[in-house]
């Protein structure tokens, strides 16, 4: 008795099944269907199925194209956001001052950025507060008051004309500060070559308030000084 391998058997079965299938197809196509009535619902379902199969390959290609386009869009948006965050004025517009107005005053505060939330903290669980002090003081002004603690620093300067200059630094910028809302103007200044966005509030009688965030909330109040001198004082804080 002659034996065949599994491979040869599979070939023989394929040939035999192909012949049977061709015979079944020929018999099916030769059937007389003149006396048979097909329901419109059946014709509709069959037509829908044929149409669905016809567009199947197109849908697969279209879906793949859409996925690739979405991936490119997401990557592009991420790259745009990263590039925007590297530009100081744009970055500041995302994480700038939050000013809330009330009847007699307004509140200025800042939210934490993602980088600041991930910032390394000290062993006792609180961020280390480092006081930044002025390195430039306008001519004729003398230090008349100074105070420093674990969470704040401030100093006051006066000259012989009683012109006033005050500098304060607060660790918790999220608490914000309250400011008299009787301003006559408001501007945005970019200090230190655009690295810092500061909010300038202008009052009558040559009075200014300058606020910004640099790891802490910084507040400058002045009266009697020209704005250029106030900006030079602010630029010198390190």
pLDDT tens across 89-118, in order? Answer: 444 444 577 888 888 888 888 887 766 666
- Give the C-alpha distances (Å, rounded to integers) separating 45 from 28, 35, 48, 53: 20, 21, 5, 12
Residue predicted with more confidence, 231 or 30: 231
Q: Which helix (H) or strand (E) holds 112?
A: none
Tell me the average pLDDT of the chain: 76
CA distance 41 to 100: 65
Residue 71: per-residue pLDDT = 59
Residue predicted with more confidence, 227 or 125: 227
Percent of the chain surpassing pLDDT 90: 34
Are the CB atoms for 165 and 201 separated by under 8 Å? no
Residue predicted with more confidence, 23 or 60: 23
CA distance 199 to 173: 14
Sign of the CA dihedral running 94, 99, 100, 101:
negative
Q: Look at residue 58 and tell me whether its pLDDT is greater than 60.
A: no
pLDDT tens-digit readout, 169-217: 998 877 788 888 899 999 999 998 888 899 999 999 899 999 998 888 9
Residue predicted with more confidence, 124 or 160: 160
Q: Look at residue 156 and tell me whether its pLDDT is greater than 90.
A: yes
Residue predicted with more confidence, 74 or 207: 207
Q: Which tokens in the block code for residue 56?
A: 């199947």
| Averaged pLDDT, 33-50 | 65
Residue 179: per-residue pLDDT = 87
Beta-strand relationship, 105-109 and 98-101: antiparallel
């Amino acid at each position: 008795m002659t034996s065949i391998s599994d491979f040869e058997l599979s070939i023989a079965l394929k040939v035999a099944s192909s012949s049977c299938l061709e015979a079944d197809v020929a018999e099916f196509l030769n059937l007389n269907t003149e006396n048979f009535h097909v329901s419109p619902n059946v014709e509709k379902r069959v037509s829908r199925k044929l149409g669905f199969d016809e567009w199947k390959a197109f849908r697969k290609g279209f879906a793949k194209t859409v996925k690739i386009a979405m991936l490119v869009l997401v990557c592009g948006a991420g790259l745009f956001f990263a590039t925007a965050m590297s530009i100081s004025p744009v970055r500041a517009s995302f994480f700038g001052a939050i000013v809330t107005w009330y009847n007699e005053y307004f509140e200025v505060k800042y939210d934490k950025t993602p980088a600041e939330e991930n910032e390394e903290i000290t062993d006792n669980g609180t961020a280390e507060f480092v006081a930044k002090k002025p390195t430039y003081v306008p001519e004729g002004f003398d230090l008349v008051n100074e105070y420093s603690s674990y969470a704040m620093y401030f100093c006051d300067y006066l000259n012989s004309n009683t012109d006033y200059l005050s500098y304060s630094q607060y660790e918790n910028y999220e608490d914000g500060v309250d400011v008299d809302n009787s301003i006559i103007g408001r501007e945005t200044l970019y200090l230190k070559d655009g690295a810092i966005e500061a909010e300038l509030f202008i009052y009558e009688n040559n009075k200014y308030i300058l606020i910004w965030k640099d790891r802490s909330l910084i507040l400058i109040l002045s009266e009697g000084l020209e704005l250029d001198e106030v900006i030079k004082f602010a630029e010198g804080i390190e």
